[in-house]
């Protein structure tokens, strides 16, 4: 569950006329239904809105965090969020551009539903008149027969329109093609919006802009089935300034679950943000006001070497996701690795997580330091390793290695770890069996 004290510290920026103006300034609106109507809607009486998250993994990731924070900003403006975790759509999966998904078992999906619901709930207030409500689309999908689905929902869809959706057209033009199962995903998501419209008077859905075809599936269905107009907001896909997809590292997502991405790795991800990207990240992922972000933008322009904006970003987002204690530990770990603190003062979990992010090796208790330099690729050969040691440039747990005959014995930290460093900045981890 969320921490009420943390949520109480969050607020929208009063320098904006309304939340619509703020989320546009923060770069959260890439595409939407009628902008003038949305501005009026979000400036008026509280509405109910939703975003859906499919349990295709045991954790949410940074792309999902964009949606969660948009939900939170609208909640802070007085509106009522619904957090939908797709127990039924997660059994199918949104079509990928290139190939079919591997279907998970019903038991696995049900387990992941629980994980994701807990994560969504952490970031939204469960108190007051606009408390978050968690819903699962399996509740209204499972009782529906195939005949009822085709008669009551399918009759509103036109195949020609469905074929034009970006994800579907991409798959049709690929070697893999697309199954009827994944082709039908957009109908299921549209049905979700219709159900929430009928049950909760929900009139706004948010999602990534790559989901726009699925978002409009719902708005179109409600218009045909109920004769009403509802709205959708598509957030931009977050990419780095070089065009690479944000939140991925060699194909691996940055997860919100600390067991999948440690707080140390999470903090390092943010603190390494480039100068060209950091201000956009501050706008989207923090609750800092415009005046502070403008100040940090000026700092990037005039004193980029201080990296104040990056350190602020890393602190704000890591604290939001993992708490201030874990963020402090991640900062202390980074300092201690480079000799700016005591390694022995770090908790074992934080130190291990930090070392796993470095080049590392597993070794016996009496291994020579020179060999470890080669095993971790800090040196290309034993002769180079011995030369580096004789020149005084090798450290084990921040203590200079004095002889090329030294071993790791007696230098292992509690938990069986050691930090190997060559020069000022080149690090590796050693795990002793």
CATH number, position 212: 3.40.50.620
Which carries the bigger pLDDT value, residue 418 or residue 165? 418
Considering 194, 221, 237, which residue would you say is the last residue of a domain?
237
Residue 424: pLDDT over 90: no
Pick from 23-27, 335-339, 421-425: least confident: 335-339
CATH number at residue 402: 3.10.290.10
**Whether pLDDT at 316 is above 80:** yes
Which of 238, 313, 271, 309 is CA-nearest to residue 61?
A: 238
Strands 31-32 and 231-235: antiparallel
pLDDT tens-digit profile of 78-123?
999 999 999 999 998 888 777 788 899 999 999 999 999 999 999 9
**What is the residue-averaged pLDDT of the chain?**
93
Res 182 pLDDT > 80: yes
Q: What tens digit of pLDDT does each residue of 262-281 get?
A: 999 999 999 999 999 999 99
Radius of gyration in angstroms for the set of CA atoms belonging to the chain, rounded to a whole number: 25
pLDDT at 243: 76
CA distance 106 to 114: 13
Q: What's the total number of domains in the chain?
A: 3
**Taking 60 as the threshold, does the pLDDT of residue 302 lie above it?**
yes
In the predicted structure, residue 250 carries a pLDDT above the cut 70: no
Per the structure, the complete domain to which residue 71 belongs is given by: 4-237
pTM for the complete prediction?
0.91
Q: At 249, is the pLDDT very low, low, confident or very high (cuts 50, 70, 90)? A: very low
Instruction: Say what the pLDDT of residue 247 is.
Output: 54
Answer yes or no: do 284 and 338 share one domain.
yes
18-35 pLDDT, tens digit each: 999 999 999 999 999 999
Checking if the pLDDT of 399 tops 60, the result is: yes
417 and 305 belong to one structural domain: no
Q: How high is the pLDDT of residue 425?
A: 86
For residues 13 and 135, membership in a common domain is answered with yes
* CATH number of the domain bearing residue 273: 1.10.240.10
Q: Do 221 and 306 have their domain in common?
A: no
Q: Quick one: 213 and 93 in the same domain?
A: yes
pLDDT in tens, 147-162: 999 999 999 999 988 8
């Amino acid at each position: 569950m969320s921490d009420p004290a943390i949520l109480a510290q969050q607020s929208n920026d009063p320098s904006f006329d309304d939340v619509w103006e703020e989320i546009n300034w923060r770069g959260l609106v890439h595409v939407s239904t009628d902008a003038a109507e949305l501005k009026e809607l979000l400036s008026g009486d509280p509405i109910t809105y939703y975003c859906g998250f499919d349990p295709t993994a045991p954790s949410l990731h940074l792309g999902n965090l964009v949606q969660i924070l948009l939900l939170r900003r609208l909640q802070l403006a007085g509106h009522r969020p619904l957090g939908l975790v797709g127990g039924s759509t997660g059994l199918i999966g949104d079509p990928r551009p290139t190939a079919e998904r591997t279907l998970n078992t019903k038991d696995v999906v049900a387990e992941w539903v629980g994980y994701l619901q807990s994560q969504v709930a952490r970031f939204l207030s469960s108190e007051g008149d606009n408390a978050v409500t968690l819903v699962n689309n399996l509740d209204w999908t499972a009782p529906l027969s195939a005949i009822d689905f085709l008669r009551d929902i399918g009759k509103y869809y036109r195949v020609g329109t469905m074929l034009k959706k970006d994800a579907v057209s991409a798959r049709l033009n690929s070697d893999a093609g697309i199954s009827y199962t994944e082709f039908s995903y957009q109908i299921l998501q549209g049905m979700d919006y219709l159900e929430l419209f009928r049950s909760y008077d929900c009139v706004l859905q948010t999602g990534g802009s790559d989901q726009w075809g699925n978002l409009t599936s719902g708005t179109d269905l409600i218009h045909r089935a109920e004769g009403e107009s509802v709205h959708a907001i598509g957030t931009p896909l977050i990419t780095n300034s070089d065009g690479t997809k944000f939140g991925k590292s060699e194909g691996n997502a940055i997860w919100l679950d600390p067991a999948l991405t440690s707080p140390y790795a999470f903090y390092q991800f943010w603190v390494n943000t480039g100068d060209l990207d950091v201000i956009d990240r501050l706008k989207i992922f923090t609750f800092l006001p415009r005046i502070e972000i403008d100040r940090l933008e000026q700092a990037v322009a005039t004193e980029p070497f201080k990296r104040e904006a990056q350190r602020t970003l890393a602190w704000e987002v890591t604290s939001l996701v993992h708490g201030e204690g874990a963020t402090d530990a991640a900062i202390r770990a980074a300092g201690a690795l480079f000799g700016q603190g005591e390694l022995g003062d770090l908790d074992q979990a934080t130190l291990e997580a930090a070392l796993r992010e470095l080049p590392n090796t597993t070794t016996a208790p009496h291994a020579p330091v020179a060999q470890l330099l080669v095993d971790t690729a800090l040196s290309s050969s034993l002769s180079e390793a011995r030369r580096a040691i004789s020149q005084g440039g090798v450290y084990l747990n921040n203590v200079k290695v004095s002889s090329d005959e030294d071993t790791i014995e007696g230098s292992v930290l509690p938990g069986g770890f050691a930090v190997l460093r060559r020069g000022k900045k080149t690090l590796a981890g050693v795990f002793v069996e």
